[in-house]
Amino acid sequence: MDRHDPSDWRRLAWWIHDHLPYSSLFFFPRLAAFNIQWRENPERWIQSYIAPKGYLTRPGMANHAGLHGAEYEGFPALR
């Protein structure tokens, strides 16, 4: 995987969703940038300005619960 290929933003988003205690994630097209926000009471939603734009997931969406390992296959294991 090319670390700066913007088409891969969803792979990283799902990895963060499954492994880190985030509240919100925004992905941007320039410089492979993203903002990650933490809150004591997390909202747990992911949105992007990279195609496909909009929400990848948020509470209430069918894809929000469970693990998404197939989406980021090949990522290094978390140590």
Per-residue pLDDT at 3: 56
Domain boundaries, the chain: 6-64
Q: Supply the pLDDT for residue 78.
A: 79
Helices (H), ranges, the chain: 9-19
Rounded Cα distance between 39 and 9, Å, is 22
Closest CA to 47 of 31, 35, 32: 35
For each of the chain's 79 residues, which pLDDT tens digit applies?
A: 455 555 689 999 999 999 999 999 999 998 889 999 999 999 999 999 999 999 999 999 999 999 999 999 988 887 8
pLDDT confidence of residue 10: 94
Q: What is the reported pTM? A: 0.87
pLDDT of 1 reads 47
Residues linked to residue 46 through DSSP beta bridges, in sequence order: 25, 57
